[in-house]
Structure 1
């Protein structure tokens, strides 16, 4: 899923809302959306950590 698709799909529900009336298909779709969002966040975190490592190695050189 692309970032825009994740954002648009995530508008259909809220984290923590009651799931009683939600169908199995809808739950599966939500799970797919949330897994895609987790992957997107992990990529962003990895990129930021790499940036910090690069900056630290650059500025810590003597």
Structure 2
């Protein structure tokens, strides 16, 4: 919901993209500018494509 007094959406945390680093076997693999939900879906796709690798991601 948009809050006029503050000038931004209440749900901005879930809808605004932030930077993430994706790590494959502990080494940087990719950088994402995505919402938390999109980052999760992207890394899940990586994990399904190459299940032998250890995939993690974190906000930077």
TM exceeds 0.5? no
Higher strand content, 1 or 2: 2
Specify the structure having the higher radius of gyration (Cα): 1
Per chain length, whose mean CA-contact separation is higher, i.e. which structure has more relative contact order (CA < 8 Å, sep 6+)?
1
Range into which the TM-score falls when normalised by the shorter chain: 0.3 to 0.5
